[in-house]
Each structure stands twice: as C-alpha cells, then as structure tokens.
Amino acid sequence: MTAMTRSSVSVPEVLLYVAFELGKKDWKLAMTSGFGVKPVLKTVPSGDWSAVERALTLGRQRLGLSAAAPVISCYEAGRDGFWIHRALTARGVSNRVVDSASIEVNRRARRTKTDRIDAVKLVTMLVRAAAGERTVWREVRVPTAADEATRHRSRERQTLVRERTRLINQMRSWLATWGTALPPHATGEWWTTVRDWAGAPVPPEVQARIARAAARLRLLAEQIATLQVAQRTTVRAAAAETPVARLRRVKGLAATTISVLLDEGLVWRAFANRRQVGGMLGFAPAVYASGTQEHQLGISRAGNTRLQSVMTQLAWRWVRWQPSSALTLAYQRRCGDSARARKVGIVALARKLLIALWRWAVQQIEPAGAIIAAA
C-alpha cells in the first residue's frame, strides 16, 4: 500500500502590485504580478477612481490574474497627503505610503527621469518590500483623519510665529536704513515718533509702510492668541491618566509644547522602541567611513523640523526648570561651563528628553529625578 502524504509547502497567493506616480493632472499606474514580470503601465486622470478601477481590471487581465486577485499598492508621500491612502484602503487595497527621501536613486550625473521610469522602479521596489526586504525603503506612518486634522492647529501657530518674527525683522531693517532702531516698547502709533540719524522724522512713505506692517502684526497677534487659548483648553480638558494629562504634570512643559509633541505623533505613531522615537526627531551624528577614511560629518539635519525646533527650546527650559533630573545632571557633567559644548550638547539632550517624555506619556515610566506634579 502506498502512503499518501500532503506537502507542507504552501503556494503563495498571486497578487497585483500597483505603484502610483502622482501628478497634478494625471496619475501613472505601473502594475506587475511579481519578480521578472514586465510591468503594465496605464495613465488615468487625477482623482478619477472609476478610471483607476478600470486600470486595475486591465492590469489583472494582461497579467493573467483572476478578477478577484488582491491588490497591494504604494505611492510617495507628497502634496496629496493621505487621502489617497484612505480612498485605496476603503476599496480593499493594501496600500503603503513611502518616504520619498528613502528611495534609491541612480548616482550618475545625467540620469533620465520620467514618470514612467519612476513608476516602474517604484513597483519593482514594492515587490521587494512585499517579499520581506526591510531596507528597500522607509514607510510613513499614516495618521487617522482626526489626528491629521488636529495637527493643523499647532502647525498654523508655528507658521504665524515665524511670520511675526519676519515682520519685526523687516521693520528693524527699514529703520536701520535711516540710522534709527525699533523702540524697545513700541505701543500705539510709535512710528510717528521715531527720529532718523539727523533727528528728523522718518519719511511719510516709510511711516506708511511700517503702519501697514504693524496692522498685520496686530492681526497675527490676535490669531496666535486664539490658537494658544484653544491649545490650553484642550490640554486642560484632557482626562486623567491620558498621555496629555501626564505630560501636563511635568514641570516646564507648556500647553503649546505638549500640543506640538502630540500633534506630531508622539503617541499616534505607535512607536515600538526608543530608536524609532529618536529617528522621528533626527539629531543623529553623521559619519563617513570608507576604507581607511573616517570623518565626522556633524549632526544630520534629517528629521521632523517642527519637532526639532520645539525640542531644542524645551531642552534649554528643561535645564532651568528640572535642575535635579538625571538628564540635566548628565548634561552639566558632560558640557560643564563651555559655551560651545553646551550648544552642541543641548541637541543630544533634546533627543534623550523626547525619548524620556515618550516613555512617560505612553509607558508611564517617569523621567529619573524629574519634578512631576501629583495626579
């Protein structure tokens, strides 16, 4: 009698891999069924999902797949944001949003670049990523629609603050050309009382320009104040034992800082470890090591620039308001009284501080030696 055995080797499911090369007027789709299969290309109008469905059906037919073959897609993160990702997942497509800066590029001085070439390359990389190659690219954590909408408030405030600083610097420059300066306490129609190098009033045209800039400054101040009130209200209304409430109890953390930390993804990105938290911030050392050559290239600029700005400011405040914390004591021991060492070391403190705040907000691990108010 012949024994019947069942093979333990499973046949992989045949999938349709689709890469979207997004444009303002149209999208180019590159479709394949796996390694070594020539991609099928199709161009559809931007945002036309009926055309996308027809292109997917055509791709399945040309590649010899069943009409029910699952679809895995990808596109580069850019100006379109994440609405395309949500539209694809709502249609049963497993989508991945790719960090554009992590995609491999040809290093030749004059290389051909077209949407067709980019789409074909992207879909071949998608096949590699789906097969388990982890270093082929970096994927973007997609926020929920609520989280994405919430972070507009903190980002708008940062934009308005930069605009306010730009206007003030412009007024200082205008006055400097007449040998005078911005008054330290500028109130009312102060530009009418300013005198130039010879003691005469600045020309009416300059006064009129400053008056218009001052009007824009007043509007900016009102909008910034409105956003700050909204941020404080949200932070204070947070329920106990939530990440927001825990961060609020830490001495030195203002409502605006907490809003930026949470809006930029300290919690919703669901980090698995401290390296992922540090990777979002950046501020990592860059090294060039090849053969016998090895150079320190300084601190890498990669990372979330909005978060970098806030964390640098917070690190300086942390040294002042948390003098007995382990992070502050280590910073003082390492940097001492050297001004240059303190400016460089504050970047490392900012990175470590973000990790400590993440552990406190998510894992409820208190920063060593920090002053934290009772719940």
CATH of the domain at 64: 3.30.420
Q: Estimate the crossing angle of helix 305-321 against helix 274-281, to 10 degrees.
A: 110
The chain-wide mean pLDDT, for the chain, equals 91
Residues lower than pLDDT 50 in the chain:
1-11
9 in the Ramachandran plot: left (φ > 0), alpha (ψ -120 to 50) or beta?
beta
On whether residue 340 sits in a domain, the answer given is yes
Are residues 259 and 204 both part of a single domain? Answer: no
On whether residue 59 sits in a domain, the answer given is yes
> What is the tally of structural domains in the chain?
3
Could you give the 3-state DSSP secondary structure of residue 26? strand
Distance CA(143)–CA(150), nearest Å, equals: 10
- DSSP β-bridge partners for residue 116: none
On whether residue 140 sits in a domain, the answer given is no
Beta strands at 94-98 and 71-76: parallel, antiparallel or unpaired: parallel
Are residues 247 and 183 both part of a single domain? Answer: no
Q: Are 68 and 56 in contact (CB under 8 A)?
A: no
- pTM of the predicted structure, to 2 decimals: 0.85
Are residues 199 and 180 both part of a single domain? Answer: yes
| pLDDT given at position 5 | 40
| pLDDT given at position 7 | 37
Q: Are 220 and 168 in contact (CB under 8 A)?
A: no
Could you give the 3-state DSSP secondary structure of residue 258? helix
Domain enclosing residue 320, as ranges: 243-289+298-363
Q: Domain end: 236, 252, 269, which one?
A: 236
Beta strands at 26-32 and 40-45: parallel, antiparallel or unpaired: antiparallel
Q: Estimate the crossing angle of helix 326-335 against helix 305-321, to 10 degrees.
A: 90
| pLDDT given at position 263 | 93
